[in-house]
Structure 1
Amino acid sequence: MAGVSTSSQFSMSSQTPTTTRVVAAVEQQALEILTVSRDAVLSGGWWYPLQGIFYFASHASLYRSIFPVILKTLGAALAITVAMFTFTYLPQVAFCALFSGPLAFATAALLVLGEAYAVIMFVSKAFFLGRAQDQLFNAVFRQQGVNLIYVEPKGKSRGFVQSVLKGASKPLSRFSREGLLRYVVSLPLNMVPMVGTVLFLLYNGTKAGPTFHSRYFQAKGMTPAARQAFVDKRKGAYTAFGATTLGLNLVPVFGPIFLLTSTVGAALWACELEKKEKEREASSSGKRPALVERASTVSVERAQVSE
């Protein structure tokens, strides 16, 4: 008996450090989620996707320029959504009944919408939305009167709009594969009623939010380290932006259109950030913001003339 007691105590003592580390890690993750969630709500980053909807709807020049893309995207989204519900909804209801009980119908609907979204985004990004997002982002910058200098790796500068129109940068394709994998892996979270869906949106929103500013980061000539520092400083806002955008994208059929309006919202946010930066530069140099804006415009014109 003494030998058994000794071995039992030895086993418990050997597992204690591991258990402690696991508990500590879980507590740290839970605290981080709570902190980010609080910052996300208070940051106001959730407002920009909604602002993008109003701005897009009130500026006819934006949606007229990409109207054919909108029609193609809606057609593809409708076909994919109908097919997914026709062939996958009932089997997933039966599966979700094991976990969600009477809420299985709603849970399965969320899963099917999530899966349809993944397929729609893959198809739309590959064939329709990439160039349209670029056009919208650039158009908002022009309408807001914000000028940027796009710095190429070789040190050659040109106007932001001009460089974009020449297709010098790639939009969000670099992030889409990683984001899609992250999205698919986390889909089962939706089987947990209510709480699971919130965690799903926050989890994916943390990574998805910053991708909407990838063009802005590139235009600013930010290094990867500078981008990460910029995002970390506004982690709550980017999480709120990404979670809100993802929630809008899950709307049946019209989800991809909200991706376009969220791009508009991201551009409006970037314009605000740029204007605030110019104001800080003006206050530190003693110049008025208008003079700084004029100097930026002259720099753009000189860069274009030098080409």
Structure 2
Amino acid sequence: MLDKLQTESRNRRSMKLDQMSRYDILKLMNEEDATVPKAIERELDQIEAATTLVIDSLSSGGRLIYAGAGTSGRLGVLDAVECTPTFDMPAERVQGLIAGGEGAFLKAVEGAEDQKSIGAEDCQRLNVNQHDTVVALAASGRTPYAIGVLEEANRLGAHTVAISCNKDAEMSTYASVAIEVETGPEVLTGSTRLKAGTAQKLVLNMISTVSMIGIGKVYENLMVDVQPTNAKLVERSKRIVVEATGASIEDAATALQKADGHVKTAIVMLLLQCEADEAKEKLQETGGFIRKAVN
């Protein structure tokens, strides 16, 4: 029942929220938000287990698929779409499902989250299989859509992960890995776009970033698979090559031109003083890991 969930309980510190000064409300919200990282810290082992599953999927040609309703669904979609420009990950390899379809990202679709069958149908539509990892999100841990996704993903043989913000969440029992970040009562009762939403966003940041590091999308602390799709990213690509190699900005630009804008290739060219074809070959041989290619 909802009234037994911590995320739906009343926060004793904010009982007079409508009488507090603007500054005191902001201070209280800030103090409550500061508790989120500690709650996440208690779940790091489970988050690591989730990234292991995702790396396994992405390394074997599978996909990372997020699924959720409302705020949880939007956060999953947001993390998924950011993986393409940040890590040059094809959009079909990291996807986000939201109850009610794409239109629900901008406007609530009433009732969509209440049906397990819609979650199952979305899994079927994506042809989820044993190579994929499906990560379902629900602050309450009991959203029927998210449970439907997990049930069907399990039936289809996929890895499954549940992310919720309550302990002993119902959906945890449907997942191979259960991440339960206990964020407690919200300042505004039941508004899980606040601490619970922040917690889910931070966990997704961890899962996608660590997973992309695990498949060779990062060299040192540089996002070397960034797509130079606009003027800002073209300049960032040059700076990344400079930082990774110690080359001048002019030499970095020349290498990028010869590498057809591919940052990794340009870096290997400069580090090994070789031509683009050889650099590409070495990257291919090492699965895209720059460190392995240059060693």
TM-score, normalization by structure 2: 0.28
Structure with greater helix share of residues: 1
TM-score, normalization by structure 1: 0.28
Structure of higher RCO (CA pairs closer than 8 Å, 6+ residues apart): 1
Structure with greater strand share of residues: 2
